[in-house]
């Protein structure tokens, strides 16, 4: 899948795309849905430097769903056409450009279904040790990608403020609960993956074909209310602790752009079971560096909290897709899956505050002298990501931002 569009020496006539460290060089070309100022029409765009190339205007493609539904060969051809347009200037091409700062970036597509996985064994082990020190992993973890069905109606684009949720919370394991604002609000650093052509009912996607259904990836923050989660998650798993908000970045970095950064899947320890046949050919991993930055209301600049590597995940995106459909569950164009929190072995690699603070027992210290066990009102969480590989141009993912608003007053408090 590596072709002329990936050449490290390729430059664009859009000068900002050629700057060292530019997130959106011509080798990237991520898609987004946007509106022009004063125009209600939703358009399809591609990032190039600090500009958006209006794909709807330049190529007559009205939505990202149209591209997602294309077979890979057609998507590759479209990428090559876009690359050629931006590499060789022709008079009038500049009319298709709009500054990113001058457009409204939207959710990339209509998300019909959303499933969130739990694919980092470091995260699962770190969390398991907090609650079950002697037996951190459940027996099924190394046999299949664990997941739960999320709520697509509460997925919001980066920059949308997040309201602190209320829910049932207990002081002791057996209750009784009280209904109040969450006091243990957390973020989760994840990669979101948009699925492409889809599959038919009762027709599992073979593992060898699974990545053909991967359109592209974005940054994802699966906001979590840990105290609500503690009371509700048994026996059926996450519900209100997770479905109040999920933030994603607006730019979708395509599978084609990720091709130079595909790498071998980490070798499993000899004592671990080998995957069952429908998961046995995992495909490849993707070398994506991910960061979490945090800014309190008293800070002018955010501070780096953690950094992790997506290529270390125990289960690959291909395995997630294949397992998701292994019972005959159909997927549709624009469906979204989350990777689960991306963590690593060290404390600086942990992708949520639950892990970093050991459930609040070891508070995170901020440069202002403030400490955080969990998120406070006014805190802003910023996720960032990029890919690097010798011989290829670095590409970025943009940002996924969200700031915390206070909980709404309970109705009982106003009576």
Q: List residues bridging with 148 in a β-sheet.
A: 116
List the catalytic residues.
123
Q: Are residues 224 and 329 in the same domain?
A: yes
**Contact of 402 with 381, CB cutoff 8 Å:** yes
Q: Are residues 192 and 275 in the same domain?
A: yes
Q: Which of 240, 181, 219, 163 is nearest to 403 (CA)?
A: 163
Three-state secondary structure of the chain: CCCHHHCCCCCCCCHHHHCCCCCCCCCCCCEEEEEECCCCCCEEEEEECCEEEEHHHHHCCCCHHHHHCCCHHHHHHHHHHHHHHHHCCCCCHHHHEEEHHHEEECCCCCCCCEEEECCCHHHHHHHHHHHCCCCCCCCCCCCCCCEEECCHHHEEECCCCEECCEEEECCCCCCCCEEEECCCEECCEEEEEEECCCCCCCCCCCHHHHHHHEEEEEEEECCEEHHHHHHHCCCCCCCCCCCCCEEECCCEEEHHHHHHHEECCCCCCCCCCCCCHHHCCCCCEECCEEEEEEECCCCCCCEEEEEEEHHHCCCCHHHHHHHHHCCCCCCCCCCEEECCCCCCCCHHHCCCHHHHCCCCCCCEECCCCCEECCCCCCCEEEEEEEECCCCCCCEEEEEEEEEEECCCCCHHHHC
Q: Are residues 76 and 122 in the same domain?
A: no
Q: Are residues 377 and 292 in the same domain?
A: yes
Q: Are residues 50 and 161 in the same domain?
A: no
pLDDT value at residue 206: 96
Q: Are residues 231 and 122 in the same domain?
A: yes
Q: What is the CATH number of the domain that holds 93?
A: 2.30.30.230
Q: Are residues 306 and 279 in the same domain?
A: yes
Q: Are residues 32 and 143 in the same domain?
A: no
pLDDT at residue 249 above 90? yes
**CA–CA distance, 286 with 243 (Å, rounded to integer):** 27
Q: Are residues 119 and 74 in the same domain?
A: no
pLDDT digits (tens, 9 = 90+) for 58-96: 999 999 999 999 999 999 999 999 999 999 999 999 999
State which of 105, 131, 147 marks the end of a domain. Answer: 105
pLDDT value at residue 281: 85
Q: Are residues 146 and 207 in the same domain?
A: yes
Question: What's the half-sphere exposure (Cβ side, CA atoms, 13 Å) at 86?
Answer: 33
Q: Are residues 123 and 13 in the same domain?
A: no
pLDDT digits (tens, 9 = 90+) for 331-386: 999 999 999 999 999 999 999 999 999 999 999 999 999 999 999 999 999 999 99
**CA–CA distance, 238 with 231 (Å, rounded to integer):** 10
State which of 53, 73, 105 marks the end of a domain. Answer: 105
**CA–CA distance, 53 with 21 (Å, rounded to integer):** 20
pLDDT digits (tens, 9 = 90+) for 157-212: 999 999 999 999 999 989 999 999 999 999 999 999 999 999 999 999 999 999 99
* Total domains in the fold of the chain: 2
State which of 75, 105, 135 marks the end of a domain. Answer: 105
Q: Are residues 54 and 33 in the same domain?
A: yes
Q: What is the CATH number of the domain that holds 357?
A: 3.90.850.10
pLDDT value at residue 415: 40
Share above pLDDT 90 across residues of the chain, in percent, rounded to a whole number: 96
Asked whether the whole model's pTM tops 0.85, one would answer yes
Range of the domain at 99: 4-105
Going by pLDDT thresholds of 50, 70 and 90, the confidence category of residue 276 is very high
**Contact of 193 with 111, CB cutoff 8 Å:** no
């Amino acid at each position: 899948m590596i072709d002329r569009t990936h050449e490290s020496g390729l430059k664009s006539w859009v000068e900002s795309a050629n700057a060292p460290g530019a997130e959106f060089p011509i080798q990237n070309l991520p898609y987004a849905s946007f509106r022009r100022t004063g125009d209600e029409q939703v358009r399809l765009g591609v990032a190039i430097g600090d500009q958006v190339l209006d794909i709807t205007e330049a190529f007559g493609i009205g939505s990202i769903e149209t591209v997602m539904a294309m077979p890979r060969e057609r998507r590759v051809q479209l990428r090559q056409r876009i690359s050629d347009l931006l590499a060789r200037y022709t008079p009038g091409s500049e009319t298709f450009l709009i500054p990113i700062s001058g457009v409204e970036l939207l959710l990339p597509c209509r998300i019909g279904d959303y499933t969130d996985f739990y694919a980092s064994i470091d995260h699962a082990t770190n969390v398991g040790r907090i609650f079950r020190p002697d037996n951190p992993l459940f027996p099924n973890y190394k046999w299949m990608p664990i997941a739960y069905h999320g709520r697509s109606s509460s997925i919001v684009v980066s920059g949308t403020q997040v309201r602190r949720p209320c829910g049932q919370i207990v002081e002791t394991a057996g209750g009784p609960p009280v209904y109040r604002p969450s006091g243990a609000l957390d973020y989760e650093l994840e990669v979101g993956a948009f699925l492409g052509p889809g599959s038919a009912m009762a027709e599992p996607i073979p593992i060898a074909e699974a990545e053909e259904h991967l359109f592209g990836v974005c940054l994802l923050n699966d906001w979590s209310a840990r105290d609500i989660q503690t009371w509700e998650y048994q026996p059926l798993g996450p519900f209100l602790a997770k479905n109040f908000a999920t933030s994603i970045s607006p730019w979708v970095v395509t599978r084609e752009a990720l091709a130079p950064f595909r790498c071998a899947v980490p070798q499993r320890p000899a004592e671990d079971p080998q995957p069952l046949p429908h998961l046995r050919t995992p495909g490849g991993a993707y070398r994506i560096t991910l960061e979490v930055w945090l800014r309190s209301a008293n800070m002018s600049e955010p501070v780096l909290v953690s950094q992790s590597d997506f290529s270390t995940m125990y289960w690959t995106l291909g395995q997630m897709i294949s397992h998701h459909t292994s019972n005959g569950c159909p997927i549709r164009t624009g469906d979204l899956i989350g990777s689960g929190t991306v963590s690593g072995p060290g404390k600086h690699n942990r992708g949520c505050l639950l892990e970093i603070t050991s459930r609040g027992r070891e508070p995170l210290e901020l440069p202002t002298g403030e400490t955080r066990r969990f998120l406070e009102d006014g805190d802003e969480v910023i996720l960032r990501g990029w890919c690097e590989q010798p011989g290829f141009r670095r590409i970025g993912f943009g940002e996924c931002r969200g700031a915390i608003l206070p909980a709404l007053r309970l109705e009982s408090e106003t009576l």
